[in-house]
Amino acid sequence: MSATTASPTEPLLELPGFFPDAIGFALRTTCSLLLAYLVSFTIQLDTASSAGLCVAIVAQPTPGMTTSKAIYRTIGTILGGIAAIVLIALFPQDRTMLLCLFALWLGACTFVASLLRDFRSYGAVLCGYTVGIIAVAGIDTPDAAFLSALNRVAAILIGIASVAVVNLLFSRMSAFHDLLAALQQRVADAEAVSIAALAGHKLPREPLTARIGAGILGLRTQAGFAAAELPDGRNRRAGATATIAGLLGMISAARAISVALQQPTSEQTRRAMAHASAQLSGSEPRAALDCPPETPIAASLLDRANELLSQHDIVRDGLRTLAEGEGTSIQVDLPEHRDWIGAALSAVRTIIAVGLGAVFCIYAGWSGATLLLVQQAAFTALLGMTPNPSAGAVNFCFCLPPAALAAGVIGYLVLPQTSGFVPFALAVGGVFFLFCLAARHPKTAAYGPGLLLYFALILSPANTESFDLSSFMNNVMVQALAVLFMLIAFRFILPVSRERRLFRIADSIGQRLRRSIDGELPRHGPISARCLRFDRLAQAQIWLGRETPARVAVLERLSAFSELDSALRRAWTGMRALGLPMPLREPDAMEAASTELLASDRPKSDMLVHAAAGLYGSALLMRQHHRALQRYGVIDA
């Protein structure tokens, strides 16, 4: 449940944009919650509160998002239930071993979740803390583990079914339409930027380019949600990913053309760029640019213009496949940058937090200690899969008091004065509706999920309500201690370091660049490799934070290194295809080799132009960033 961040000058509530979408989401989610409670109460389910909690977790703005999350929630719950039964069977009488293995299992699941994205990450982390809900909660009654697992799965299925029924009846398939509209707008923007670059206009600086790339890459998540809404979603998703990859190729080529056209070029080359612009706008039929280059700069422009047109073809084909469900879209892999060290640190934070809770459980002798460990494990694992769990832990602190206050007022002032499901639905549904609105508003989106979760957890309605104030206070104390242990683990013992995260991204770019200099081409194809470079730059921009001149310089340098990697790839590919040796790493030697290729008697084939453009681009970038390349150990001093 995320939302874009509004600027400080925007009004708090924007009626045309916020209210229709948010109210629809809040109504659907509240109806799903009440339906889940009604079914659970009717069949006398022991874990009725778990069904409501499932709705609070699964609820998403669109049916596709809800379906996708529900699928991974079901898979994670089933796998976690199996793991819990296995652990209890292995250590039915050994609490220490059970808690140790649970902490390690949760850490391993958090590690996997940190490497994944979207709701696949959530499914992995759910597989971890389901063991705590079943095995740790029943640590004193191992014989009841199988029944506990069945109740847990039943509650999850009731919650998921409730959300699915309400969405089917009252929601439109909005994820697909939103994705199609967003991609169509991105295509129009990319065409406008490309035409401006071909006309010789200078494009904005790197931070804006990185933001454009990040926005395009962000649509791959929405492509997965849209695929869940349609029967032929897999084919349409292939069209969406091809469109995304092609858009990144267009942005990359347009930026390179814009930079190259700032230098003096021949009239023949500029006419070729004009022809490319006319083909891009549709005023001329698509045809190969017939302009044999005589200089390295002309070869570079011709190569990137041809690449721009070919990527535009991929975009048009992919968009047609997405819209119609039929087409010839290429199968494109959109790889993601994975921070293995960051994932390992997330796992260690999770193990530390659960370890603190386990030690407290052993020595406290408190009746709520087991519940504390279960809740702490769940929230710790959920935070561990986020990019910045330290900030998430602080958000959870602010969510607990209002959620506890609302649950206390409803549970111990309102519900005892009424009877029946209708008054219950009006009281609980009203508060849940308001928290759903908070989850959708940009100003409170970071706190909305926590409010929903804590309200459902602390209220914990059952078939027979006891209205025990001491039990309520005990539950609130459990949640407060769980947050305290998370803060200790995530903010004080092992906090997230933006500088180290950024360093690891820069190091991965540098390592890839060293291999390209040595002629080791990446295992990904050129399209997938470009997507990976954009993904790294997008993550680097996140960890750089607020833009300052120094941070912009860092981002531009990382972008230049990524562009050098791409140029070296083109040079190596072209020279090997021509059967020629790659020149030395010196920029002068590379530029001389590019000039010699164009002056030779060889036919001016696409591969020769490709090689000459790669050599010239590599030489230019290495000359511009020679000191930085030496400082970072990419080339020898």
Q: How far apart are CA 511 and CA 233, in angstroms?
A: 37
* pLDDT greater than 70 at residue 467: no
**Region of residue 600 (left: phi > 0; alpha: psi -120 to 50; beta: else):** beta
Q: How confident is the model at residue 141 (pLDDT cuts 50, 70, 90)?
A: low
Using alpha carbons, list the distances in angstroms from residue 285 to 289, 303, 388, 390: 11, 19, 49, 55
Q: How far apart are CA 348 and CA 350, in angstroms?
A: 5
* pLDDT greater than 70 at residue 224: yes
Contacts of residue 240, defined as CB under 8 A and 6 or more positions apart, other chains included, come to: 179, 183, 219, 220, 223, 226, 318, 322
Residues of the chain with pLDDT > 90, as a percent, come to: 5
Residue 479: which of 448, 461, 454, 460 has the closest Cα?
454
Using alpha carbons, list the distances in angstroms from residue 354 to 44, 83, 280, 359, 450: 32, 18, 57, 9, 20
Identity of residue 637? A
pLDDT of 71 = 79
pTM: 0.78
Q: Which two tokens stand for residue 133?
A: 């809900």
Residue 263: which of 231, 234, 296, 285 has the closest Cα?
296
pLDDT tens by residue, 527-540: 888 888 888 888 88
Q: How confident is the model at residue 312 (pLDDT cuts 50, 70, 90)?
A: very high
Q: For the chain, what is the mean pLDDT?
A: 81
* pLDDT greater than 70 at residue 441: yes
Q: How far apart are CA 117 and CA 231, in angstroms?
A: 23
pLDDT tens by residue, 146-172: 776 777 778 878 887 888 788 777 766
pLDDT tens by residue, 231-261: 777 888 888 889 999 999 998 898 889 888 8
Least confident of 182-191, 416-425, 614-623: 416-425
Neighbours of 444 (CB within 10 A): 14
Contacts of residue 100, defined as CB under 8 A and 6 or more positions apart, other chains included, come to: none
Neighbours of 581 (CB within 10 A): 9
Least confident of 298-302, 587-591, 632-636: 632-636
* pLDDT greater than 50 at residue 526: yes
pLDDT of 247 = 92
pLDDT of 356 = 81
pLDDT of 1 = 34
Average pLDDT over residues 79-105: 83
